[in-house]
Amino acid sequence: MNRKASFFSVLFLCFFTSSTAQIIWLEGRVINPDEVENIHVLNTTSRYNAITDQEGKFTIQAKRYDTLVFSGIKYFSKKVVVTDKMYAQKHLTVSLIILLNELDEVFLGNTLSGDLLKDVGAINTNKNFNFDDVGIPGFKGKPQEKIPDLVGQVITPLFVDVEALYKHITGYYKALKKMRKWRSEDYIATEILTYYTASFFLDAYGVPENRTYDFIMLCIETSAIEKDFKIKNYNGVLTIFKEKFPDYVYQLSLLEKEN
């Protein structure tokens, strides 16, 4: 009798485990009154991902008790665990909290005197914007110097631009091109980090917040993520993150062990 009971217990456990681990297509919808398109949905358990359409609808592969992370540029990130009810109905609805940017209070009043010079002089002005004020890197110098072609612009049948020729010979223009390439990549990395936030990379891929910028730069230098992000191909962006993070996290763990 005990053997039979043990047999049925094992059989039930195997059946329960199998049904729990079965992956299904889960349909869902974000029901906020604001814009609900292009909200990222990531299954942090299995690494499947999806993006909402104009109506906030999406489909994603999941199983019982998987964790889904919802993130959008206008909303706070939200974690949702796939419950038995969601799994049985193959459907879920989610409401996100809007990320509000509070503005300073504004007072309106008749403060003009009618004297244009006096009124202009009384205006409070702020100092020029500086990237350091918001904690991001950026170019604060003069407009970019034009790099002329060696043949056709520096050397022509009628004249030779001696200064430009000297800059080509000394490697000045070559170094300038490298610097501009780095600045372009740095700008895109900052844009990507602002769009997804460091907490997203930590929750979704296990990339520490102090290493997020480094991880994004790796993706930029070894993939077409810059192009995908510019054309808003967010599925392509998430695919690249998914491909790059395992090796990055592994190498990071080795580095931490050495230290």
Nearest to 173, CA basis, from 147, 151, 209, 140 = 147
pLDDT of residue 189: 85
190-198's contacts with Cβ under 8 Å and 24+ in sequence apart are 190/136, 190/137, 190/138, 191/229, 192/216, 192/225, 192/229, 192/237, 195/73, 195/229, 196/40, 196/71, 197/71, 197/77
Summarize pLDDT for 83-119 with one digit per residue, the tens.
Answer: 999 999 999 999 998 876 555 565 555 666 666 667 6
User: What is the C-alpha R_g of the chain?
Assistant: 28
> pLDDT confidence of 152, banded at 50, 70, 90?
low
**Residue entry with tokens 């500086």:** 130
Strand order in the sheet with 67-72: 49-51, 40-43, 67-72, 75-81
CATH class of 21-94: mainly beta
pTM value > 0.75: no
- Region 154-167: what's the mean pLDDT? 56
Q: Is 90 exceeded by the pLDDT of residue 29?
A: yes
Summarize pLDDT for 38-91 with one digit per residue, the tens.
Answer: 888 888 887 788 889 989 999 999 999 998 988 887 888 888 999 999 999 999
Q: Where are the domains of the chain?
A: 21-94, 142-258
Structure tokens at 68: 């889904």
pLDDT of residue 10: 46
pLDDT of residue 123: 66
